[in-house]
Chains A and B, each alone.
Chain A
Amino acid sequence: MTTWLLVARPRGDEARERGRALTDEALLALGEEGGAIAAVDAETIYEVDLEDDTGDVDDATVDIFRRLFSDPVAETFHAGPRADGALPPPPEAAESAPVRTVIVRRRAGVMDPPALSAVEALRDLGVAATDVRIARRYFVRGTATGGALSDEAIGRLARRALASDVVDEIVIDAATLPARPPAGDASAPGSRRREVAVRELDDEALAALSRDHLLALDVHEMRAVAAHFRKLEREPSDVELETVAQTWSEHCKHKTFRGVIEHVTEDADGVELDRRTIDDLLGRTIVDATTAVTSGEDGRDDCVSLFADNAGVVRFDERLDVCAKVETHNHPSAIEPYGGSETGVGGVIRDILGTGQGAWPILNIDVFCLGPPDLPADELPEGSLHPRRVLAGVVAGVRDYGNRMGIPTASGALIFDRGYVGNPLVFVGTIGVIPRGRSEKGARPGDRIIAAGGRTGRDGIHGATFSSLELTSESETMSGGAVQIGNPIEEKKVADVIEAARDADLVHSVTDCGAGGFSSAVGEMAEEIGAVVDLERAPLKYPGLTPAEVWISEAQERMVFACPPDRVGELRALFDAAGVETTDLGRFGADDRALVVRWEGEELLRLGPEFLHDGLPRTRKHARTVVPTLAPASETLAQLDAGGEPLGAELRAILGDLDVASKEWVTRQYDHEVQGLTALRPCAGPRAVGPQDAVAVVPRPRSTLANEAKAPAAVVVGLGLCPSYGELDPHAMAMAAVDEALRNVVAAGGDPRRTSLLDNFCWGDPNDPDILGALVRTSEGAADAARLFGCPYISGKDSLNNTYRTAQGERVSIPGTLLVTAVGVVDDAARLVSMEPKAAGEKLYLVGVTRAELGGSKIAGIRALTRAAPPRVTDRAPIVLGAIANATAARLVRGAHDLSEGGLAVAAAELGIGADLTITVDLAKVPWDGGGAAATDRALAFAESTTRLLLSVDPDDAARLEETLTGAGLQAGRDFAAVGEVVAAGEPGPRLTVTGLAGDAVIDEPIDELREHWRAPLYRVFGQQPPTPTPLGG
């Protein structure tokens, strides 16, 4: 083998140009010590292994190297035999500042897509390359006065800004590039049955076995395993034990949600008020509510597939159904934010690809709950990454996967709370479309098991069980294998084929390899019929994996197809043409419906479905709810008005709060327009800065409708999550989250009667009765909301054990968090409404009642309110949202925006920001129900009562709007009122003017200032300024 070493180094001007962003990042990472850095720039180093018989590397080959690995305009290029790996000296700098170098490269065995592409490209151009390794070398220049960076600082910089310890190797100040050991171990015995003795173990030994093997099974479950194999009169193989652990993981089986819960309700003094046994919490709440709203003559009849598949499926139009799935990828993202969020996105996209016989993804969703990005370094728990780093990493991961796959990422949310510091939450979702009738699926006996996509490696071992364990300060080192880097182009290649394969009837069933890898994918598909797998056929990234590792590896970008045996050639030919590797792993169907795994003929696993799928012992857990004692409204209102800043100052404080502030820094990094289907973007209005409530996509634009005499229909996606209400009342929090998600859909022109829901629970330690009690109440709230609005849940996921043990041993659970995703169908895309008022002269209607609901609100945080009542959804909510939907359907609404965090004042400010027009609001006109307590300016301006929207209405349509609302059962003055106007901007610019109950202007602020105040915070986190808002109107 010959190895060449190639170096591409940016030329002077280019080095400075490219170095600017790197330098900014480095300064930010080092904080106060960043002053010691003058500049950072970087070059790329390639090691190319050539086949033995290549002989001399001729000039033509060097020219190919040059063209593939360097840019003639921007870079200089060095090429030569590797020899001892000597690197060219660092570039001269104008000022003779001392320089330190940092080499960063992927650890052996970690996915490195560019390296794989480089090998393929070289071979395609006729160069016999066998391997390429890529490294980046950073040149970190100290200042002339400060000298070079210290060892400590350069190490910290490398780990914080340049590399990810988990997946990267860091080499500092090396003049030569050290050789990297090969991944895998060719000499390791790969193929033998390994038995694990369990039958004679006592409880202590069983618990130790579970812990040592990262099985995440408790002692009851381990006992059931031991008993099963005693009955079989043999010991399990390691493959069998791992399979049981994967199949029985909390991640796959939802043990808590499906188990038995003893729930006690107490008052504040510990007096028991109620006691009940809940057998199957998920069944009694989410599932029962969905059954209720989809049954009976008036029941919803647009559900196609509920909870049965990788995604929920509902009717869309004459030809298509729409499918939706939202997942979490919390623990991997805590350890390696970029790879964690990236592979989370990749996984949820595969859920859509693996829905029915294969669906096409059209929209991505991302929601992050993170610690505050300005957290002081000394408050960071040991072993945790700083929230700012997590934020940068998870955004980059979602960006790179979605942008590269060509799926618009347009719907999202971002919440910051100290409770997420040690255990950030990363929700990722995908919406897809599938032709009607193609959601039916099922492997049949005799079908071949065809694996397609990436190869299997040691990466991603134990993801399913890892996600079921708590994070500790050692998780990073312990579970590095659970963290991976994605390869979106590999997945895109699979996606490019999936529709053709489906439409040619080549697919009886398909699913993705997610948690548990082949064990879960094949296991689930074979649940009813069994399967025989010849595992040694699985293609590997490198040698040396044990059969158990091959079976449970969660290596990314793999899918499993059930293909009729006489059609296998066609399926594989389709994949071949797209450059996707396929493997025939065996057949579906086995005696006694058993799952059988063989390695070169030797049987490593044989488990029947009655044990594997039904043998899991039910868990029995205890839960407690303490009824909160809340302050009466009068007390809260008095507390609210005691002291305090002028309302304008409080409004600015809330607009500058990161939860409320513009998310533009994130959304501009996402391609929210690719595929050309996006009809409502995250950024609304003539300056493209308005915070759009719900985004919309048009899956079949008019250009594809051919001769169909119909308008294109749209999918609208809204999100709801309000963890801040949960501490006061988890039931109210859940209902508020559903209400918020539906409000967003309605604001965009959707209708609750055509909207379906997804639930994602992220919770702490389910063995803590109070935390489990909150989960019970949240689930009940989510179910009650579904019944109230008549909206089914079509898909959901729970992630428990989101806890973190600090180095001091203190155990921290995250705030219980429910994300509700609402997916609405709008039959005529022309009915879509963007959030901003469209013209001066429009009237502003506030629909919905304001109450003294300030608990968990933004103003409560500022005014330090205690025990204030959180917002509650009333029985009138579906009437309110239905009435607004009628109005948008009649095209009577020019702009609509929901009231959420910060209440009316924030919503009104956002209207002004979105429209670039003056907004006036008269608080005296706001419909108020204080339960006897008189309204105050502050409560009217900042209360966060649910089910409220601001509509801007053409004055010519005002009478018809009022008729429509009253016709739907609302009462003017009580349920809605005209509260303000849209006015042409005066000099020097538009204003927000809010008139108080006494008739004086309690808020009078220039919109331009509010806008920049609201846009800046997230940019400021990264030391940047928001760009000038681009006028779209020309």
Chain B
Amino acid sequence: MTENVAALILRAPGTNCDRETVRALELAGARCDSVHVDRICTAPGRTDPAFSLDPYGIVAVPGGFTYGDDLGAGVILGNRIARALGERLAAFVDGGGIVLGICNGFQVLVQAGLLPGPDLRGAVTLAPNRSGRFECRWVHLEGATDRSPLLERGAILPCPVAHAEGRLAVRDPGVLDELERGGQIAFRYVRPGCDAQPVPHPFNPNGSAGDVAGICDPTGRVLGLMPHPERNVEPFHDPLWTRRRSDDALHRPGPGLELFRRAVAAAPGAADGEEAGVALHTAD
């Protein structure tokens, strides 16, 4: 690697998946700055003039309960970001930057208007799970678009969900069609070995419309998803890792790392043709 990709991990009170998101991005080869939103938004509606997104190729908003999700999931941080950083983030994406929101970060990107994007602003929300409860379980995702450089259409990614408000709901059924047409449906929940739709609970863990687990903006460079790929990057993250016999069991990275590697590869700053990422192996 000749040029390092830098990632900004945006934290706020209640962010709680920042450490594992940093680890995943570092494993994928990025250099990470974990930054509290108050360091950027220094006063009501104001942004630190010294702050710039220029050094970064990736902006990641991790999971958690920002501001306790007190007025709804991601509402407060989403509104803060929209007001203080909205234009800069738009320019960042126009310039080829990657924006990734996971779980609460996805909710934040929707609230901030970055997802699904300007044409469908306010058409999509993440509502309370159909079960009415927080649920933590492993699900299977299928890449559902060619639009995004962060994923491969048709690829299956197992990873956990852990949320109470992840049911993707749309203003009207036409919104799903529009998302589909625009290649903006990034991930769908699937039931392995069964094509029947809609996918029943718990395979679709929250009752999301169209079994949608994640969406991207029209450029594919802004991606949000409810499940946690950063919780499937270490070898022991695989819930069945103890079934592996060889010493290899604790050395093979989890398939979630692929998404972060792709993010690093697609982000400005990465040299063409270089494979991003560091080897997970240490001297044995």
Contacts and interface: CB of A to CB of B under 8 A. Distances in A.
Given A20-B132, A833-B242, A1033-B240, A74 B71 contact: no
B135 A668 contact: yes
A668 B136 contact: yes
Contact of B250 (A22, A117, A492, A712): A712
Interface string A3-29: 000000000001001101110100000
Give the interface residue-count category, chain A.
Answer: 35 or more
B19 interface: yes
Select the residue from B27, B38, B234 with max chain A CB neighbours within 10 A.
B234
Nearest to B249: A830
A298 interface: no
Interface stretch (B75-83, B90-98, B212-220): B75-83
B128 A1030 contact: no
B154 interface: no
Interface stretch (A401-409, A545-553, A791-799, A929-937): A401-409
Interface in B228-274: 228, 230-231, 233-237, 239-243, 247, 249-251
Interface string A720-752: 000000000000000000000000000000000
A502 interface: no
A255 to B, nearest CB: 39
Interface string A55-92: 00000000010011101111000000000000000000
Nearest to A404: B65
Interface in A982-1034: 1027-1028, 1030-1034
Contact of A707 (B63, B158, B233, B282): B282
A311 interface: no
A709 B283 contact: yes
Interface stretch (A120-128, A148-156, A180-188, A610-618): A120-128
Interface stretch (A423-431, A454-462, A696-704): A696-704
Given A117-B67, A399-B134, A681-B239, A492 B16 contact: yes
Contact of A679 (B39, B236, B247): B236
B226 to A, nearest CB: 13
A686 interface: yes
B71 A124 contact: no
B124 interface: yes
B135 A669 contact: yes
Interface in A351-401: 399
A73 B123 contact: yes
Contacts of A113: 68, 70
A73 B169 contact: yes
Contact of A702 (B72, B125, B169, B282): B282
Contacts of A24: 132
A675 interface: yes
A638 to B, nearest CB: 43
A18 to B, nearest CB: 6
B70 A114 contact: yes
Given A123-B44, A669-B135, A1033-B240, A74 B127 contact: yes
B88 interface: no
Nearest to B281: A702
Nearest to A682: B136
A35 interface: no
Chain B interface size range: 35 or more
Nearest to B234: A701
Contacts of A405: 16
Contacts of A706: 282
B44 A674 contact: no
Contacts of A626: none
Interface stretch (B51-59, B143-151, B197-205): B197-205
A681 B239 CA distance: 8
A711 B235 CA distance: 12
A702 B280 contact: yes
A479 to B, nearest CB: 27
Contacts of A126: 44-45
Contacts of B123: 73
B282 A14 contact: no
B27 A676 contact: no
B183 interface: no
Nearest to B167: A17
Given A72-B125, A74-B127, A492-B16, A709 B79 contact: no
A117 B169 contact: no
A1030 B138 contact: yes
A124 B80 contact: yes
A679 B236 CA distance: 5
B162 interface: yes
Nearest to B64: A406
Contacts of A18: 127-128, 132
B79 A1034 contact: no
Contacts of A68: 71, 75-76, 79
Contact of A14 (B14, B169, B236): B169
Interface-central residue, B20, B203, B233, by most chain A CB under 10 Å: B20
A488 interface: yes
Given A18-B128, A67-B79, A579-B13, A73 B71 contact: no
Q: Which of A114, A670, A686 has the most CB of B within 10 A?
A: A114
Contacts of A71: 72, 125, 127
Contact of B23 (A406, A703, A710): A703
Contact of B76 (A21, A121, A673, A1030): A121
Nearest to B241: A679
Contacts of B23: 676, 701, 703-704
Interface in A651-680: 667-676, 679-680
B68 A117 contact: yes
Contacts of B80: 121, 124-125
Nearest to A69: B71
B139 interface: yes
Contacts of B26: 703
A306 interface: no
Contacts of B14: 404, 488-489, 492
A21 B133 contact: yes
Contacts of A702: 234-235, 250-251, 280, 282
Which of A123, A703, A710 is most buried by chain B, counting CB atoms within 10 A of its CB? A703
B153 interface: no
Nearest to A46: B71
A673 B136 contact: yes
B134 A669 contact: yes
A1 interface: no
A838 B242 CA distance: 9
A14 B165 CA distance: 13
A73 B201 contact: no
Contacts of B70: 113-114, 116-118, 489
Nearest to B26: A703
B85 interface: no
Given A669-B134, A679-B241, A707-B282, 19 more contacts: A14-B127, A17-B127, A68-B71, A68-B79, A113-B70, A117-B67, A125-B83, A406-B17, A577-B36, A577-B38, A672-B136, A681-B239, A686-B240, A698-B234, A703-B234, A708-B282, A1030-B137, A1030-B139, A1034-B140
Interface of B: 11, 13-17, 19-20, 23-24, 26-27, 36, 38-39, 41, 44-45, 63-65, 67-68, 70-72, 75-76, 79-80, 83, 122-125, 127-128, 130-140, 156, 158, 160, 162, 167, 169-171, 192, 200-203, 207, 228, 230-231, 233-237, 239-243, 247, 249-251, 280, 282-284
29 contacts: A17-B128, A68-B71, A69-B71, A113-B70, A116-B70, A117-B70, A125-B44, A125-B45, A126-B45, A404-B14, A406-B65, A488-B14, A577-B36, A577-B39, A579-B13, A669-B134, A673-B228, A674-B17, A676-B17, A676-B19, A676-B24, A676-B231, A702-B251, A703-B234, A707-B283, A708-B282, A712-B250, A834-B242, A1034-B156
